[in-house]
Chains A and B, each alone.
Chain A
Amino acid sequence: AQSVAQPEDQVNVAEGNPLTVKCTYSVSGNPYLFWYVQYPNRGLQFLLKYITGDNLVKGSYGFEAEFNKSQTSFHLKKPSALVSDSALYFCAVRDSSGTGGFKTIFGAGTRLFVKA
């Protein structure tokens, strides 16, 4: 069965410092991995995804994520945090083999606070 874990409910970081939001996953086949961001009173917005190839994926707003197959992780990173990055972040996984259909599993979310 597919599953996603975001071990931190909340991450606090000072503006200008690097940030990491953690995600680990479990799928039976090879994963498609996604990060989405949710700002207050808004729907989820796509940030980036890993399909295959280079383990470092670059996305919107300066975010990037590193796929680590041996650790089954897909941590979201940004070299220098902005106050405007404060939001709720969701990691999601889909099994590329087709097991489970087109189903996408979302993590519980991690709230990021960036302090000025």
Chain B
Amino acid sequence: EAQVTQNPRYLITVTGKKLTVTCSQNMNHEYMSWYRQDPGLGLRQIYYSMNVEVTDKGDVPEGYKVSRKEKRNFPLILESPSPNQTSLYFCASSSPRGRAAEAFFGQGTRLTVV
């Protein structure tokens, strides 16, 4: 089954404690991205990757890092989480061929930073 898998689904952590949210896709997609969803703001892009070892900032990259060492994986790293990073996070993947491809989304990770 084609899918994007995120882990963990729920996470409560304390300010400053480094964490990683994993994302993996099994569709051989080149393009992957991370979004955060906040009420009234929709989805805002944090980082994206066009292919292995190619990453770039989205609209709200501050406080986040990513890496793309393998095509299937695109982890999101919070080096020093703060309460304003409490949010619902989604990983998505798509194939950019033709530029009109829709995105496949993971189930989401609800992060609370206290």
Contact = CB atoms under 8 A, between A and B. Distances in A.
Q: How large is the interface on A (under 10, 10 to 19, 20 to 34, 35 or more residues)?
A: 20 to 34
A102 B96 contact: yes
Interface residues of B, number: 25
B100 A51 contact: yes
A36 to B, nearest CB: 8
A62 to B, nearest CB: 18
B50 interface: yes
A41 B10 CA distance: 11
Contact of A32 (B92, B99, B104): B99
Interface string A32-53: 1010100001111110010100
Contacts of B40: 9, 108
B102 A102 contact: no
A108 B108 contact: no
